[in-house]
Structure 1
Amino acid sequence: MVYGGKPSTGCYLCRKRKIKCDEERPGCRNCATYGRPCPGYRPDAIFRNETRKVERLAKKDTNCSSSSSKNNTPSSQALMVADRSLDRSASVLNLHRIADSTWEERAICYFFDQYTVPGDNEEGTGHLEYLPPLYARAAEVQSTVKGSPAACLRWAVDATALMTLANFSNAPPLMIKARQGYGRALRGLRDALASPDTAIMDETFASVLLLSLYEDISGERNGLFSSHTAGFEFLMKLRGEGQLDHQRGRDMFNFAYAHTYVEILALGDKPRHDIDWVLGLLDSNDPVERLMLAASKIRQLFLSMQTAPSPPDLATVEKWIEAGRKSDLELSQWPLHLPDRWLPLVVYSAKGETLMVYKTIGNAVIWNYYRAARVMLQQCLFNLNRTYLSIKNKTRKPDDPSQAIPALDEASLREVVQEMTTDICRSIPFSLSDVDELGRLAGPIDGKPVRAAQAYGLIWPLWYVLSCGMPTEAQFNQIREVLWSIGSTLGIKLALILAREAERMRNESLASAPAAGPSGR
């Protein structure tokens, strides 16, 4: 006799469909994804004898595989080999095995559980919370129509979900399926973009979003650059003001806008389309959008520096320094206007460590992006100050014994960088659900397991600190280990790439014995 477990306590529709139910109350999210109202749950768990059923299913699978092998095409044989290999995968994969459901269905359930996080009722930010209903709506549309954004979205979600489960479970055969789906989604996206009417649809924009997420999960970016950033910029401009008329459009826009900022601020990329027109449409009363407005000033400063003649003259450098100081002042005032529920709480762990906790994980993500932006701006100001001093010294008369006076206090810049870095490190245990909102260790019963979406929100802020800041040796090792853990445990391969790149940069920096302070851009 074996315990029926969650399949027997799931809702009626999930048990009928023979998929794993998340058992959310009052209705499960799988039903919402499927586009049906949740019919509810059986009141009590039961015990039943599954031994004969399992033996029968195993024997059936073996007979079917052997009897059909002679007539299979190479592609179908590959999929059958993949399924048989998956059956022999590590035991962790068996946690997601449900009899009589396809790997695609299992992957979708796991992906939505890991990457879709609803916001709370007090303006807490979620992550991809609009995706399950959008995916369910796409399921009702004929998915074989050429150029259908619904078909493109379904293929993009399926491919990303398969890669998510493949990486987490270390199942290479699933990766083959995922890459096949990714290619199908790219072809579907190309068809959807061929018409202005379908190009501006939410399903098309969400498809680009999912394909960029696929790149990060699979670790298949073009170096550190995403191949979908240009698509984000093009679609944001094409969709115009109407995309901000509803919450789903604003959420997708915020994701895409942050994605492009990563490329510009952290990697030095240049925008392909002007999207500054949207700044006048952002709500300065919203904490996230007010931070976007403040960060846009940094973006404008960086672009001005990238497009200016080289080397710049003293007047230009002074103008940049003044613009940077104003941007930093605006950023420093961002926390002053936050509601109390957004403010972090400083607590002490059982070991006496100082930690930072928040009302929601989403708030922690936004705070860490804020800190990372300030770190990058301090580094920019530090480099501008060095450029200013270099020009001043070159123009000083030979008989003038005085030294050039710096435009900025570099000690203050370092102090801000160290404060932001320390606060990010103190936020890591909460961001990864190692502690709860009171700083208590999360136990195996009452603790919430970390979702991949939480770790995904940590990756770029941690990278900013490693690449632009001045972490101590202990902080560098802590952040590097967290990135390795995110990449190896949760299967977000981008984290492994960034951890390796940070190590390479640090080794080069140590080998060249740089002066104290942040490294140059």
Structure 2
Amino acid sequence: MSGSRASKGCQQCRKRKCDEGRPSCNRCIQRGEACYGYRDPQTTYLFKSENERTATLVSRAQTKPRRRASSLSSSSRLRITLSSSSIDDSDLENAAQILDLGTPYPWLKDGSKAREQSVEKRAVDKFFEKFVLFPCNSSSSSGFLEQLPVLFEEVQTEGRVALRWAVRAASFASLNSEQGNKELERKASVCYGKALEALSESLRNKEEAVSDYTLMTVVMLDLFETMFIQASPHSRGAHTEGMAQILRLRGPDQIYSARGWSLYRLAHHRLQRQQLAFDSAPAISQEQEELLSSLTPDTPSNRITHDNFAISKICARARELKAKLLAGDELSDEETMKLVSEMVLLDRTATGWRAGPSWEYRDVRKHDIVGAPEWFPLQIQLHHDAWIAYEWNYHRTGRIILHTHILECLDRLLLSASLASSSYPSPYIPLPLNPPPRFLFTAELTSK
């Protein structure tokens, strides 16, 4: 028996600070965990020891209302544990002798203790070191995967194993892409299968389906497929539809916390990348547009997101018009010229912003860099950090896709019967002395 004052926090937060919200504390709600209630505030003493009979009664009372959940979790864990594996961990440990896993303790003189860590642990650490970018208040970097290490270690709810398997799969896939090892390849495939199996169990629970852990799991699986699965671009992004549904179900309140905003930004970038490039991507939803409209365009990353969202919408219209042109729609020519004008205006808007000195980059030539590999391009851009380079590439990808649609529409127009009957010259014929105004406009765009 202890005479110390008992904690008033809920059972889940008893060892941490609890806001004692009713009926559930906000910390449990934000973490997506069940809040099992509070102790009696009148209780002064807390009995730590129980005799055998009391222990049996208390244990029976605690497990009875949660029997179904426990059995589901146990069955899930059992299936995951017993699922067939095509690789033995001992094979992976043997293969570790020829792998370059880096130095996990560079601050120590003797790093021999690092060999005591498993290959899996060192592969995950290497993945975090390579891909996780934490926000920096003194620069423009808002971070990338910065919530992943915490979510990876913060698995306290039973059955939350999908994220851990997904991180392991991505870690082995990343290591395999660098070093090309068959054991790593097989291990990545096994972990990916286990992640999918565990994720299917999590999605059966409505609350767990929209949790931070589930959203991060789907993002990690999408990253894994990008790194590991050699498939056509149209078959990639199989998890994008899942990300779109989870973001929709999480609602507009998801961006009112640091973790929620970070996860939204991360997942929405993956979703928008697919919407920019592929017809098979999830359609732009009203919820997606409404949530984006609530974000200020004053932030550079938000500005790029707004621009690329507008590009996605206008490119979708371009794909519809191209289908009309192929079908021989006589009214589509004028509509296409109008759309091309909108595209050009949007492109000028997208390139007309500058985000200050922190977003500037420096152009250097390859031969000015000492020891530059042969595969470097002749011109190289140096950025302040990886996140700024990532955002710039994201911005340019949108513009390249927009230019592609402009040229495709114009090329189809110039070959259409309506333009041919008006004696419009081909873009490959030299410019006439007195060209029509519309041809000048078309030739200017096709030359860019």
The normalised TM-score by structure 2 is: 0.66
SS at match of 1:99: helix
| CA distance 1:323–1:269, change in 2 (3 Å) | farther
Structure 1, gaps ≥5 residues long: 1-72, 416-521
Corresponding position of 2:124: 108
TM-aligned CA deviation for residue 116 of structure 1: 0.6
**Residue 295 (structure 1) aligned with residue 295 (structure 2):** no
CA contact (8 A) 1:385 1:406 kept: no
Counterpart residue number, 1:281: 294
Q: Deviations over 1:152-175 (max 9, x none)?
A: 212211222222233333332233
Counterpart for residue 186 of structure 1:
196
C-alpha displacement of 1:212: 0.7
Post-superposition offset of 1:267: 3.1
What residue is the counterpart of 1:430 in the other structure?
none
Distance 1:223 1:341 in 2: 33
Instruction: Rate the CA distance shift 1:395–1:105 in 2: closer, same or farther, 3 A.
Output: same
- 1:230 aligned counterpart, secondary structure: helix
Aligned with 1:356: secondary structure? strand
CA distance in 1, matches of 2:280, 2:353: 26
The question of whether the paired residues in 1 share the 8 Å contact of 2:366 and 2:379 is answered with yes
Q: Which amino acid aligns with 1:253?
A: Y
1:164 maps to 2:174: yes
- Is the Cα contact below 8 Å between 1:153 and 1:207 reproduced in 2? yes
Residue 408 of structure 1 deviates from its aligned partner by 2.7
Contact 1:378/1:413 (CA < 8 Å) preserved in 2?
Answer: no
The alpha-carbon deviation at position 213 of structure 1 amounts to: 0.9
Q: Secondary structure at the match of 1:406?
A: helix
1:83 aligned partner, one-letter code: L
| Residue 393 (structure 1) aligned to one of 419, 426, 434 | 419
Match runs of 1:343-492 below 5 Å? 343-346=360-363, 351=368, 355-391=380-416, 392-396=418-422, 405-406=438-439, 408-411=441-444, 414-415=447-448
Larger radius of gyration: 2
* 2-structure distance, mates of 1:378, 1:272: 21
Cα deviation, residue 109, structure 1: 0.9
2:140/2:388 contact within 8 Å kept: no
Q: Distance in 2 between matches of 1:385 and 1:368?
A: 26
* Cα 1:76/1:307, change in 2 over 3 Å: closer
Aligned-residue offset at 1:185:
0.9
Give the corresponding residue for 2:208.
Answer: 198
Contact 1:230–1:272 (CA<8 Å) still a contact in 2? no
2:365–2:379: 8 Å Cα contact kept in structure 1?
A: yes
How far residue 291 of structure 1 moved from its aligned partner, in angstroms, is 0.9
Pair 1:263-2:277 in alignment: no
1:154: which partner in 2? 164
Distance 1:390 1:80 in 2: 61
Match of 1:305 in 2: 318
| Amino acid in structure 1 at the alignment position of 2:88 | L
For 2:359, give the aligned amino acid: W
> What is the match of residue 173 of structure 1?
183
Alignment match, 1:329? 348
How far apart are 1:209 and its partner, in Å? 0.5
Deviations 1:219-270 (A, max 9, x none): 3446552211111111111111122112332232223222233323323334
Check the 8 A contact 1:388/1:407 in 2, yes or no: no
- Whether the 8 Å contact between 1:85 and 1:173 is mirrored in structure 2 is no
2:250 alignment counterpart: 239
Where does residue 453 of structure 1 map in the other structure?
Answer: none
In 1: Cα distance, 2:142 partner to 2:257 partner: 15
The percentage of counterpart residues that share the same residue type is 21
1:107-139 per-residue CA deviation (whole Å, 9 max, x = no partner) reads: 11111111111132223132211111121212x
Higher helix share: 1
CA deviation string 1:404-450 (max 9, x = no partner): 632735445544xxxxxxxxxxxxxxxxxxxxxxxxxxxxxxxxxxx
Q: Relative to structure 1, is the Cα distance of residues 285 and 273 closer, same or farther in structure 2, using a 3 angstrom cutoff?
A: closer
Amino acid of the structure 1 residue aligned with 2:307: A
Are 1:208 and 2:234 an aligned pair? Answer: no
Q: Is the 8 A contact 1:156 1:210 kept in 2?
A: yes
CA distance in 2, matches of 1:407, 1:195: 60
| Deviation of 1:211 (Å) | 0.5
Whether the aligned pair in 2 keeps the contact of 1:125 and 1:363 (CA below 8 Å) is: no
Report if the CA contact (8 A) 1:117-1:128 is conserved.
Answer: yes
Say whether the 8 Å CA contact 1:107–1:162 is kept in structure 2.
yes
Cα distance change, pair 272–193 in 1 and its aligned pair in 2 (3 A) = farther
Structure 2 residue 95 is the aligned partner of structure 1 residue 86: yes
Contact 2:315 2:402 in 1 (8 A): no
Letter in 2 for 1:396: S
Contact 2:96 2:119 in 1 (8 A): no
Measured at CA, do residues 284 and 84 of structure 1 come closer, stay the same or move farther in structure 2, by a change above 3 Å? closer
Q: Deviations over 1:5-35 (max 9, x none)?
A: xxxxxxxxxxxxxxxxxxxxxxxxxxxxxxx
Residues 428-483 of structure 1: per-residue CA shift (max 9 Å, x gap) = xxxxxxxxxxxxxxxxxxxxxxxxxxxxxxxxxxxxxxxxxxxxxxxxxxxxxxxx
CA contact under 8 A between 1:234 and 1:273: conserved in structure 2? Answer: no
- Paired residue secondary structure (1:310): helix
CA distance in 1, matches of 2:86, 2:308: 51
Distance 1:130 1:181, change over 3 A: same
**In structure 2, which of residues 238, 241, 244 is the aligned counterpart of residue 230 of structure 1?**
241
Partners of 2:405 and 2:86 in 1: CA distance: 55
Shift in CA distance, 303/124, structure 1 to aligned 2, threshold 3 Å: same
Point out where structure 2 has 5 or more consecutive residues left out of the alignment.
1-81, 105-111, 370-377, 425-431
Cα deviation for residue 93 of structure 1 reads 4.7
Superposed, which structure 2 residues align to 1:30-109 within 5 Å?
78-83=87-92, 85-90=94-99, 92-93=100-101, 98-109=114-125
Equivalent in 329, 337, 343 of residue 318 of structure 1: 337
The answer to whether the 8 Å contact 1:229/1:259 transfers is: yes
Is 1:132–2:149 an aligned residue pair? yes
Query: In the aligned structure 1, how far is the partner of 2:220 from the partner of 2:121?
Result: 17
Let me know the Cα RMSD of the aligned residues: 3.1
1:162 partner amino acid: F
Q: Which amino acid aligns with 1:371?
A: R
Aligned to 2:229: 219
Structure 2: distance between partners of 1:74 and 1:118: 36
Tell me how far 1:105 sits from its aligned partner.
1.0
Q: TM-score, normalised by structure 1?
A: 0.57
**Distance change in 2, residues 1:89/1:348 (3 Å):** closer
Contact 2:276 2:312 in 1 (8 A): yes
